Amino acid sequence: MSETAQRETHGFQTEVGKLLHLVTHSLYSNKEIFLRELVSNAADAADKLRFKALSDNDLYENDGELRVRISADKDAGTLTISDNGIGMTRDQVIEHLGTIAKSGTSEFFNQLSGDESKDSQLIGQFGVGFYSAFIVADRVTVRSRAAGFGADAGVQWESAGEGDFTVEDINKTDRGTDIILHLRDEEKEFLDDWRLRQIVNKYSDHISIAVEMWKEEVPEQDGPDGEKIAAVPASWDKVNTAKALWTREKSDISDDEYGEFYRHISHDFEAPMTWSHNRVEGTHDYTSLLFIPKRAPFDMWNRESKHGLKLYVQRVFIMDDAEQFMPTYLRFVKGVLDSNDLPLNVSRELLQDSKVTDAMRKACTKRVLQMLEKLAKKDADKYQEFWKEFGNVLKEGPAEDAANKEKIAGLLRFASTENDTAEQTVALADYIERMKEGQDKIYYVVADSFNSAKSSPHLEVFRKKGVEVLLMSERVDEWLISHLNEFDGKQLVSVTRGALDLGDLEDDADKEAQKALEESSEGLVERIKTSLGEAVKEVRVTHRLTNSPACIVVDEHDMSSQMVKLMKAAGQPVPEQKFILEVNPEHDLVKQMDALQAEDTFAEWSQLLLDQATLAEQGTLDDPASFVARVNKLLLNQG
C-alpha cells in the first residue's frame, strides 16, 4: 500500500473543537502537563495490550518489553512520544482522536461560562488527555499500528488543532503509537533533555512501564588515578522507577507520588483530598489504593457516568471502572485494586457473583468509611470541604447499605437551629452532646428550602424550650430520613409528624396546663372540625405553636408532604393527602374567631386557618385564588 493511501479529512466533533479552543487558550499556566497526559495514555495502551495478550500471546510479536520512549529532534523542532502498546486501527484513530466518548459531554460544555480562568478549572475536572498536546504544539502527527495487524495496517492522523484532521494509511512495522509534536516556536524548551527528564520525574515516575530517553555515548575517560574508564555506548535509558506504585512500601512513597498516581488513574488535574493504601493478606490477598477527590466530577449526577475502581489481577491490568467494588453512594472514590485471588481471565459477569468480589467490596467500603471518619476527626475543615462536594451522595448511603448505616449516619452533617445557617456542619454526635436534660430524641424538619425549614411554625415550641432541631431541605433528605430511624440508640423524629411527644422535656406543670387548655377548647375544636368536614383528617389543640395560630401535621403513618412531592415529580401515583390541623387557642386570631357568632363567617375563618397553615408548610395551595378572595373578604369585613 502506498504511503499516502486513502487520505481523508474529517471534522472534529463540536465538543472536541471547544475543548481544543480551551486547551490552547486556558491551560497556559501549566504547559508541561501535556507530557504527563501523553505518557499516561501510553501506559494505558501498554496495560490494554498486556490484558489482551493474556488470551493471545502472539500479540506481543516477540516484543513483550513494554515501554514508552521520549525523543527530541532539535533540528526538526519535534518531540516524539512513542509506545509499543496496543496501538489503534484507522477506525479507532478516527473515533478516539476526533470525538469524546464520555457521557454528559455536551451538558458539560454547556456549563462553561466563557471566563477562561474559571473554565480552565472545570476543564481540569473533565480531563483533556490527548488534546493537551496542542498546548505546546501547533501541529500533531500520530502514527499508529494496532497489535495483531500487519505493518500495512498503519494509520497516520494529523491536525493543527483547528476544526479538522486528516487520516491516511501508512506502513508501520513496529506495533504501537508515536505521537509527534511539532512544537510552537516559543515552546522549544521542551526539546531540552534535562527539562524533559525533570518533567518525567515529576509526573510520571510511578508509571508501571519504563519511560526511556536516549542517552548519548559517554566516551572513554581517564579516572582520577590515571586508569581508563570504559566508554558507555549510546542507549535508551530508563528515567522513571517503573514499578507499579501500589506494590511499593507505603513508607517509600511521597505524597507527591501518590498525587501524581491519582492524576494518572483519575484524569483529574487536582491533587486528591486524601487516600488509603493497604495490603491485605490472609483469607484474601489483595492491595487497595483508594482516593477521595477534592472536587466532584462533572458527571457525578449522570446515571450513565462511569465509576468504580481500576482492577488489576497479579499486577496485570484487567479493567477500568469495576463498579462491583464500590457501592453507588461512594461512586466518587477513585483507586486501584490488585487481587491475587481472582483469575486472570475474570470478566465483569464473573465478578458479579463472586465471593471474592463480595469480600473485597465490603472491605473497600469499610476502608473508605474509616478514611472519612479519620478525616472528620483530624481535620474538620477539610471534611467540611468534602461534605460540600459529596455530602448529597453520601446521603444515599443509609438506604443502600443497611449494614453500615450507623457508620454512615456518623458521617452525615446537617444544618440546624443551633446556628440557623444553611451550612451543613452539625454531626448527629454533636447534636446528641447538646441534647437537653430529659431529651431522648433527635428532632428534625424536612422542607422545600432552607428558609422554609428554618421558619417552620412547627419549630416554635422547640425554640422556646431551647431544643435543637435539624433543618433539612435537600431533595435527597426525605429519602435519607425515611431510611434512618435512629442513631446511637436515639430515635430520629420529625417535628411535623404525628402527636408531639416531648417526653421528659415537659414538666408536670406544662402537662397540666396543656390538658386544661385542651379541655377548655373542646367546643372550639369541635366547631372547626364541623366547618372543615372532609378537608382535614382531624382537628386538635396544638402543642408546638407559640407564635402562630395553626399548623398542619402529617399523621404518624402517612406519607410526608415532601415525599408526596417527590413521588408526584417522579410521575408516581400518590394517595390523596389529608392533614391534621392543629390550632393554638391562645393566639389572638383564634380567640377572635372563637368569639364569632355567625357560623358562615366562622367557617370562612376556619378555612383561612387551614389554608394559611398549608401555605406555611408546603409553599403552595391547590386553589390559591380562593384563598386570596377569602382573605380580602375577611379584611374588608374587619374594616
Q: Segment contacting ligand ATP (CB under 6 A): 41-49, 348-356, 404-412, 516-524?
A: 41-49
Q: Which of 32, 47, 83, 338 binds ligand ATP (CB under 6 A)?
A: 83
Residue 104, annotated ligand binder? Answer: yes
Q: Which of 24, 26, 41, 392 binds ligand ATP (CB under 6 A)?
A: 41
Write out the DSSP string of 80-94. Answer: EEEE-SS---HHHHH
Q: Which of 20, 45, 167, 409 binds ligand ATP (CB under 6 A)?
A: 45
Residue 300, annotated ligand binder? Answer: no
Rounded alpha-carbon distances, angstroms, from residue 491 to 52, 351, 444, 445, 557: 54, 38, 11, 14, 16
Q: Segment contacting ligand ATP (CB under 6 A): 78-86, 155-163, 450-458, 505-513?
A: 78-86
In eight-state DSSP terms, residue 302 is -
Nearest to 476, CA basis, from 329, 298, 260, 346: 329
β-strands 154-159, 164-170: how paired?
A: antiparallel
308 lies in the site for ligand ATP, by CB under 6 A: no
Distance CA 11, CA 7 (A): 14
Residue 85, annotated ligand binder? Answer: no
Nearer to ligand ATP, 130 or 479 (CB): 130
> Which residues does 184 contact at the CB level (< 8 Å), separation at least 6?
136, 137, 138
Distance CA 555, CA 499 (A): 8
- Asked if residues 98 and 191 have their Cβ atoms less than 8 Å apart, the reply is no
Q: What is the 3-state secondary structure (H, E, C) of 530-553?
A: HHHHHHCCEEEECCCCCCCCEEEE
Residue nearest to ligand ATP (CB): 129
Distance CA 483, CA 571 (A): 22
319 lies in the site for ligand ATP, by CB under 6 A: no
Report the nearest approach of ligand ATP to the CB of residue 83 (Å).
5
23 lies in the site for ligand ATP, by CB under 6 A: no
Q: Which of 85, 124, 327, 457 binds ligand ATP (CB under 6 A)?
A: 85
How many helices (H) and strands (E) are present in the chain, helices listed first? 22, 24
Chain centroid offset of residue 279 CA: 26
Report the nearest approach of ligand ATP to the CB of residue 55 (Å).
19
- Please give the radius of gyration of the chain, using alpha carbons only, rounded to the nearest integer: 33
Nearer to ligand ATP, 130 or 236 (CB): 130
Q: Segment contacting ligand ATP (CB under 6 A): 21-29, 84-92, 280-288, 483-491?
A: 84-92
Interaction with ligand ATP in 220-279: which residues (CB under 6 A)? 267
Residue 37, annotated ligand binder? Answer: yes
120 lies in the site for ligand ATP, by CB under 6 A: no
Interaction with ligand ATP in 134-193: which residues (CB under 6 A)? 177
Report the nearest approach of ligand ATP to the CB of residue 267 (Å).
3
- Asked if residues 85 and 42 have their Cβ atoms less than 8 Å apart, the reply is yes
Residue 269, annotated ligand binder? Answer: no
Residue numbers at the binding site for ligand ATP (CB under 6 A): 41-42, 45, 83, 85-88, 96-97, 127, 129-131, 177, 267
Known binding site for ATP: residues?
A: 37, 41, 83, 88, 102-104, 125-130, 177, 348
Query: Annotated binding site, which residues?
Result: 37, 41, 83, 88, 102-104, 125-130, 177, 348
